[in-house]
């Protein structure tokens, strides 16, 4: 699906978003594909929250919607955004975004 | 004494005697219990030149001061001896219910010495221990042995035992309790087998008292509340178990494939993930003694060629039998995990050894004729077939039973064993998780992930966020983790509690239970002390800095894809800093100042 | 209220019960016991069911067991002579002897600790009466989800 947005660099990215653990239950999906103009990590989560409803919104975003929820692990092509630009990390090419709730251990 | 009972049993298997001994307050305060106390007794009593299978070797079982109390997940026990697989100090930790039952029976631990002429088991009931014949049980599986011993002794007894793998001295045989809980790594089950000791049975109607009742209840209530509120310990581990790690480690480019040969990104990883297990085969989750996290998996494969039921698998086992072997049939992986429990064998080393053989087969070094089967990457039937052959040392299984290092070495290619000090590294690629590379190289029992679990900060961001691709700061955090883990392993609670609570909460529970006047810093210092006595033992066994290394693959073969593409493990720079922070010289020997600081 | 399908077999209930009652950790002294079934893959916590027509009350020769205003059956230790007839009388095995006296679950005076600390919700303390309505509502909810209008 194509969602027209603010024009960063005039081209679109083919993005795959993968869901894990209980995000799968709450979206009903393992993954979905988007065509989007470049956007930040936070902006992507806002978009996903609009798509998937209140349960996901409350798990992905802070109550005021301005921050990413601390229990979200957000990887862009395997790199954690904590070591890029945090919520302002830009997704600007064909990427795989992986979203995990912070619930693991072994 | 509070917390600890203050008494252990000393069993001489040669003479057939069982005697009581009291624990000294001084010793216990310095080494805490469990891993610390057991290791201290071991290194003091056993001559350094003793072989692991010699009658002069000792096998020690030790619980901690919190085992069997209301503390968080307080069901843990430790087995300590020289590990046959590595030749280092070996300690293996297990949960379940045996530890508390032993304390209710009136003892903190047992020291086994000598060797019995005929197979025996120890029955500990309410203050008394006796050796009984296990001749009828020798050769029986862990499941049958457990059921029969409960019938023979007490319907509410708890059983620790070895299976055929331990009896056959498979170098990675484990000691099982409650059938499916394992003190798995290093081959301690083989030491038990070498002594003709089949099992330990405990039945206790006694209890444990604590020093400060209100204080302890408050400390435990606070810690339990924190565990409940934390997403990992309060929800995640119970819902998905440890296999929840499969997808996130894979997405982070850290899931080694095909004996670590083909990078660490597995496109089929989801098929062996915790999500898939929960969806397809999970019956329910299960908790060890007093544990609210309940990460145990009760699993059933209802039909198909791998129809079976049991408990597990855990993440590292699923990886070893899965991605490492190029296998993605979760049912087959579960089946082999159940077999490992039944035979009493470590699935991590088993899977890694299979993978090593598979690579040797690929290279033409091993043939189908020699193996007596088709142990090739991706062959799910083969891992089921060879699991039994390994446990029983049948045919090629006899070579596999020696572990990947000795097997690969016998063909002239020891570098293809993905191990450190001959113990196989689990499930996290040290090229994408630099801190884990350092942990594998420095862990006192060889390639071990859990004693300094840097995956937690590097991938989960708990309790702080570390970039997995950098080397800065890893040595410092690793030392803290290794010391804290030593504390946790010594006091008898589960390491997974540390996802949700820290040194402060642990210190509070320990102080109120035992009445010890010990600050958090002193407690962590005890962990440091325990780490060092393990290290001193390894030095006495001839392990040097040269052994704190990784297989050449991790140092020279860059990852071909994923977020860590192009990276190798930059071990040396981290190692140098690690030795410095540990207070050791660059030959990894503790300095005199360090030893006197620790009171050694 | 017991939901054994949620029981994770951790025995936290046994620990806190024995500690609350007897100030030590000993499942032998606990009024609740977890019975584990290996092959059936289930565990069941069992404690006194506070029978409406309690055999222990009826059999006691000195009327040491009485019912309080919540319907809980309590032992009056001033009257109890330790004859242990109540242990024989209870058909469910929920009366026990700790070496000094008989004991049973007394719901901790109205705030049962097992329910407080049970990590999985297998033991809950609720009003007995509306429970059937709660379970009926759970079922009705499923019909609503499938056949009802989108909310």
Please report residues of A whose CB lies closer than 8 A to that of B275. Answer: 20-21, 24
Q: What confidence score (pLDDT) does residue C137 get? A: 80
Please tell me whether residues B563 and B451 are part of one structural domain. Answer: yes
Task: For residue range B321-369, list pLDDT tens digits in order.
Answer: 999 999 999 999 999 999 999 999 999 999 999 999 999 999 999 999 9
Q: Tell me, yes or no, if B205 comes closer than 8 A to chain C by beta carbon.
A: yes
Domain residue spans in chain C? 1-47+105-151, 49-90
Which tokens go with B290?
A: 């007093």
Cβ of residue B302 closer than 8 Å to a chain C Cβ: no
In chain B, which residues have their Cβ closer than 8 Å to the Cβ of A18? 251
Q: What is the block-wise mean pLDDT of chain C (151 residues), using blocks of 10 residues?
A: 90 96 95 91 92 94 93 94 94 91 94 95 78 73 79 60
- CA-nearest residue to C120 within chain B is B292
Q: How confident is the model at residue A12 (pLDDT cuts 50, 70, 90)?
A: confident
Percent of chain B predicted with pLDDT > 70? 100
Taking only the tens place, the pLDDT of each residue in A49-63 is 999 999 999 999 999
Instruction: Kindly state whether residues B83 and B15 are assigned to the same domain.
Output: yes
**C-alpha pair distances (Å), B392 with each of B148, B170, B249, B349, B422:** 21, 8, 34, 16, 21
Within a domain: residue B429?
no
CATH number where B465 lies: 1.10.599.10
What does the pLDDT read at residue C22? 94
Q: Are B85 and B423 in contact (CB under 8 A)?
A: yes
Name the residue among B217, B287, B300 with its Cβ closest to that of C10: B287
Residue of B239, B248, B564 with shortest CB distance to A73: B248
pLDDT given at position A3:
58
User: What is the rounded CA–CA span in Å between residue B449 and residue B453?
Assistant: 6
Q: Is A71 on the interface with B (CB under 8 A)?
A: yes
B478 within domain boundaries: yes
The pLDDT of residue C139: 80
| pLDDT value for C39 | 84
**Residue from the list A77, A82, A105 with its beta carbon closest to the beta carbon of B242:** A105
Kindly list the residues from chain C whose CB atom is less than 8 angstroms away from the CB atom of residue B179. Answer: 38
Q: Give me the residue from B460, B499, B563 closest to A77, CB to CB.
A: B563
**B210 has pLDDT over 70:** yes
Query: d(Cα B176, Cα B311) in Å, to the nearest integer?
Result: 12
Predicted local distance difference test score (pLDDT) of residue B392:
98
Q: Does A73 touch chain B (CB under 8 A)?
A: yes
pLDDT of residue A103: 80
Residues of chain A found within 8 Å of residue B229, distances taken between Cβ atoms:
none
Query: In degrees to the nearest 10, what's the CA dihedral of B529, B531, B533, B539?
Result: -140
Q: Which pLDDT band holds residue B551 (cuts at 50, 70, 90)?
A: very high
Q: Check B294 against C26: CB less than 8 A apart.
A: no
Q: What is the CATH number of the domain that holds B43?
A: 3.60.9.10
Residues B394 and B449 grouped into a single domain:
no
Q: How far is B295 from chain C (nearest CA, A)?
A: 9
Give how many domains chain A has, as a whole number: 1
> Cα separation of C122 and C129, whole Å?
18
| Residues 31 through 70 of chain A touching chain B, CB cutoff 8 Å | none
Question: Residue A78 falls within a domain, yes or no?
Answer: yes
Q: What is the mean pLDDT of residues B54-71?
A: 98
pLDDT value of residue A106: 55
The verdict on a CB contact (< 8 Å) between B207 and C119 is no
For chains B and C, what is the number of CB pairs under 8 angstroms? 76
Determine the residue of chain B that is closest to A17 in CA distance: B251
Chain B residues with beta carbon closer than 8 angstroms to that of A16: none
Distance from C-alpha of B163 to C-alpha of B308, rounded to nearest angstrom: 19
CA–CA distance from C32 to each of B63, B237, B296, C77, C91 (Å)?
25, 26, 23, 20, 15
Average pLDDT over residues B493-497: 97
B339 and B449 fall within a common domain: no
A106 falls within a domain:
no
Domain of residue B471 covers 434-499+517-597
Q: Which of C15, C29, C119 is facing B294, going by the closest CB pair? A: C119
Residues 498-537 of B with CB under 8 A from A: 499
Query: Averaged over B51-64, what is the pLDDT?
Result: 98
CA distance B423 to B352: 10
Comparing alpha-carbon positions, the chain B residue that sits nearest to A71 is B231
- Model confidence pLDDT, tens digit, residues B99-131: 999 999 999 999 999 999 999 999 999 999 999
Q: How far apart are CA B558 and CA B550, in angstroms?
A: 14
In contact, B312 and B297? CB cutoff 8 Å:
yes
Chain C residue with Cα closest to B126: C28
Domain count, chain B: 3
Query: What CATH number is attached to the domain comprising B253?
Result: 1.10.569.10
Taking contacts as CB-CB distances below 8 angstroms, the residues of chain B near C22 are: 207
pLDDT tens digits, one per residue of B281-320: 999 999 999 999 999 999 999 999 999 999 999 999 999 9
> Same domain for B128 and B262?
no
pLDDT of residue C148: 80
> Which domain, by its residues, includes A60?
2-101
Best mutation target among C8, C23, C97 (most B Cβ atoms within 10 Å) is: C8
More confident residue, C132 or B98: B98
Beta-carbon contacts of A31 under 8 Å, excluding residues fewer than 6 positions away, are A16, A17, A18, A19
Segment (H or E) for A101: strand A95-101
Interface test with C, best of B4, B142, B207 (most C CBs within 10 A): B207
CATH of domain C49-90: 3.30.70.20
Element (H, E) at B404: helix B403-410
Mean pLDDT, chain B, whole residue set: 97
Which residues of chain A neighbour B467 with C-beta distances below 8 Å?
A: 80, 82-83
Whether B248 and B299 map to the same domain: the answer is yes
Backbone angles phi, psi at A45, to 5 degrees: -65, -35
CATH of the domain at A29: 3.10.20.30
What pLDDT, on the 0 to 100 scale, is given for residue C151? Answer: 60
């Amino acid at each position: 699906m194509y969602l027209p947005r603010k024009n960063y660099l005039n081209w679109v990215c083919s993005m795959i978003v993968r869901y894990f653990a209980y995000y799968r239950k709450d979206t009903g999906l393992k993954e979905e594909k988007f065509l989007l103009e470049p956007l930040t990590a936070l902006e992507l989560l806002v978009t996903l929250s609009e798509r998937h409803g209140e349960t996901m919104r409350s798990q992905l975003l802070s109550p005021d919607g301005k921050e990413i929820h601390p229990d979200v692990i957000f990887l862009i092509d395997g790199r954690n955004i904590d070591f890029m630009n945090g919520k302002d990390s830009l997704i600007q090419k064909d990427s795989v975004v992986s979203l995990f709730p912070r619930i693991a251990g072994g | 004494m509070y917390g600890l009972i203050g008494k252990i049993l000393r069993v001489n298997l040669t003479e057939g005697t069982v005697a009581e001994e009291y624990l000294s307050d001084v010793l216990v305060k310095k080494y805490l219990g469990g891993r610390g106390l057991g290791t201290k007794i071991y290194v003091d009593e056993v001559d350094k030149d003793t072989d692991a299978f010699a009658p002069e070797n000792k096998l020690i079982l030790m619980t901690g001061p919190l085992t069997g109390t209301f503390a968080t997940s307080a069901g843990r026990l430790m087995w300590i001896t020289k590990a046959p697989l590595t030749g280092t100090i070996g300690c293996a930790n297990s949960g379940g219910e045996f530890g508390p039952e032993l304390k209710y029976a009136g003892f903190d631990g047992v020291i086994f010495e000598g060797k019995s002429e005929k197979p025996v088991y120890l029955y500990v009931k309410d203050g008394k221990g006796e050796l009984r014949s296990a001749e009828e049980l020798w050769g029986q599986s862990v499941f049958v042995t457990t059921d029969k011993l409960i019938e023979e002794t007490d319907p509410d007894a708890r059983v620790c035992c070895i299976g055929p793998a331990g009896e056959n001295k498979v170098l990675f045989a484990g000691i099982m309790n409650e059938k499916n809980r394992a003190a798995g790594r290093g081959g301690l089950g083989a030491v038990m087998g070498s002594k003709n000791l089949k099992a330990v049975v405990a039945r206790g109607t006694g209890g444990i008292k604590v020093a400060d009742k209100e204080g302890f209840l408050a400390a435990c209530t606070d810690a339990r509340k924190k565990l409940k509120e934390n997403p990992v310990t309060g929800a995640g581990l119970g819902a998905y178990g440890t296999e929840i790690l499969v997808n996130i480690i894979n997405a982070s480019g850290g899931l080694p494939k095909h004996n670590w040969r083909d990078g660490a990104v597995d496109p089929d990883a989801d098929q062996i993930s915790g999500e898939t297990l929960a969806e397809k085969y999970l019956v329910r989750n299960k908790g060890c003694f007093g544990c609210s996290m309940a990460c145990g998996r009760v699993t059933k494969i209802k039909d198909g060629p791998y129809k079976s039921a049991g408990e597990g698998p855990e993440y590292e086992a699923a990886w070893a039998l899965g991605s490492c072997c190029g296998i993605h049939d979760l049912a087959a992986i579960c089946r082999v995990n159940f077999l490992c429990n039944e035979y009493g064998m470590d699935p991590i080393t088993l899977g890694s050894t299979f993978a090593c053989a598979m690579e040797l087969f690929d290279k033409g070094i091993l043939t189908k004729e020699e193996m007596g089967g088709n142990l090739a990457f991706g062959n799910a039937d083969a891992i089921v077939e060879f699991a039994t052959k390994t446990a029983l040392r049948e045919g090629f299984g006899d070579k596999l039973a020696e572990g990947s290092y000795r097997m690969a070495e016998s063909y002239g290619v020891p570098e293809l064993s993905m191990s450190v000090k001959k113990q196989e590294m689990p499930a996290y690629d040290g090229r994408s998780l630099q801190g884990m590379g350092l942990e594998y190289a420095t862990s006192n029992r060889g390639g071990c992930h859990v004693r300094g679990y840097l995956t937690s900060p590097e991938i989960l961001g708990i309790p702080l966020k570390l970039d997995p691709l950098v080397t800065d700061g890893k040595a410092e955090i690793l030392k803290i983790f290794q010391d804290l883990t030593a504390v946790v392993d010594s006091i008898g609670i589960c390491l997974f509690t540390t996802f949700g609570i820290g040194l402060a909460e642990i210190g509070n529970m320990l102080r109120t239970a035992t009445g010890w006047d010990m600050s958090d810093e002193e407690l962590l210092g005890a962990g440091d002390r325990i780490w060092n006595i393990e290290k001193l033992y390894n030095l006495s066994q001839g392990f040097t800095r040269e052994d704190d290394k990784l297989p050449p693959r991790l140092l020279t073969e860059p990852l071909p894809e994923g977020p860590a593409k192009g990276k190798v493990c930059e071990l040396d720079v981290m190692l140098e800093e690690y030795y410095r922070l540990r207070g050791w010289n660059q030959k990894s020997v503790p300095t005199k100042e360090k030893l006197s600081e620790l009171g050694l | 209220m017991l939901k054994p399908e949620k029981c994770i077999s951790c025995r936290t209930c046994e620990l806190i019960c024995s500690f609350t009652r007897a100030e030590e950790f000993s499942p032998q002294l606990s009024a609740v016991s977890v019975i584990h079934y290996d092959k059936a893959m289930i565990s069941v916590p069992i404690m006194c069911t506070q029978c409406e027509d309690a055999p222990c009350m009826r059999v006691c020769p000195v009327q040491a067991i009485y019912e309080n205003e919540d319907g809980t059956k309590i032992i009056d230790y001033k009257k109890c002579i330790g004859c242990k007839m109540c242990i024989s009388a209870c058909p469910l095995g929920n009366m026990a002897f700790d070496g000094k006296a008989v004991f049973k679950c007394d719901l901790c005076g109205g705030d049962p600790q097992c329910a407080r600390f049970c990590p999985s919700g297998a033991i809950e303390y609720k009003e007995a009466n509306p429970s059937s309505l709660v379970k009926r509502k759970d079922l009705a909810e499923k019909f609503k989800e499938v056949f009802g209008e989108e909310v």
